[in-house]
Amino acid sequence: MSIVIDSISFQYESKKIILDSIKLKIKKGDFVAILGKNGSGKTSLVSCINGLIPHAIPGKLTGNIFIDDKNTRDQSIGEISKKVGTVFQDPDLVIFNLTVEEEVAFGVKNLNLNNPEKRVHDALETVGLAGFEKRDPQNLSGGQKQLLCIACVLAMGTDYIILDEPISNLDYSNAKLVYQILKSIHEKGKTIIVVEHDTDMVWENSTITIIIEDSKIIMNGLTKQVLKNNQELISLGIRPISKNL
Partner 1 sequence: MNEIILTRIKLISVLIISNIILFYKDAFYLNLIFFLFILFYVFIREKFFEYISWLKPLFIAVIIIFVIQLLTKESLIVSALSSLRILSLSSLIFLLIQTTKLSLIVKALNFLPPQLSFVLSLSLGMIPQLTKEIKQVTIAQQARGHKINWNILKSYLPILVPLFTKSFIRSEQISISMQARGFTF
Binders of partner 1 among residues 15 to 54 (CB under 8 A) are 50, 52
Integer-rounded Cα Rg, in Å, for the chain is 18
- Distance, in Å, from the CA atom of 84 to the CA atom of 159, rounded to the nearest integer, reads 6
Closest by Cα among 83, 54, 94 to 193: 83
What is the three-class DSSP state of 92? helix
For partner 1 (CB under 8 A), the number of binding residues is: 26
Determine how many CB atoms are found less than 10 A away from the CB of residue 113: 15
Select the residue interacting with partner 1 from 62, 71, 110, 115 (CB under 8 A).
Answer: 110
Does residue 190 belong to the site contacting partner 1 (CB under 8 A)? no
Burial 141-150 (b: 16+ CB within 10 A, else e): eebbbbbbbb
- Helix, strand, coil tally for the chain in percent (to 5): 40, 25, 35
Does residue 146 belong to the site contacting partner 1 (CB under 8 A)? no
What is the three-class DSSP state of 35? strand
Does residue 77 belong to the site contacting partner 1 (CB under 8 A)? yes
Q: How far is the CB of 81 from partner 1 (least distance, A)?
A: 5
Q: Which is nearer to partner 1, 109 or 243 (by Cβ)?
A: 109
Q: How far is the CB of 77 from partner 1 (least distance, A)?
A: 5
Q: How far is the CB of 84 from partner 1 (least distance, A)?
A: 8
Residue 44 identity (one-letter amino acid): S
Closest by Cα among 178, 219, 190, 10 to 89: 178
Q: How far is the CB of 185 from partner 1 (least distance, A)?
A: 18
Does residue 56 belong to the site contacting partner 1 (CB under 8 A)? yes
Which residues sit opposite 6 in a β-bridge? 64
Our CA angle for 23, 217, 240, nearest 5°, is 145
Does residue 81 belong to the site contacting partner 1 (CB under 8 A)? yes
Binders of partner 1 among residues 155 to 184 (CB under 8 A) are 156
Q: How far is the CB of 41 from partner 1 (least distance, A)?
A: 17
Select the residue interacting with partner 1 from 18, 22, 140, 152 (CB under 8 A).
Answer: 152
CB of 242 within 8 A of CB of 200?
yes
Stretch that binds partner 1, among 22-30, 77-85, 184-192, 197-205 (CB under 8 A): 77-85
Does residue 136 belong to the site contacting partner 1 (CB under 8 A)? no
Q: Which is nearer to partner 1, 112 or 173 (by Cβ)?
A: 112
Does residue 85 belong to the site contacting partner 1 (CB under 8 A)? yes
Which alpha helices (DSSP H) does 56-196 contain, by range?
A: 77-80, 100-110, 116-126, 142-155, 172-187
Q: Which residues of the chain form contacts with partner 1 (CB under 8 A)?
A: 50, 52, 55-58, 77-78, 81-82, 85-86, 88, 90, 92-96, 106-107, 110-111, 138, 152, 156
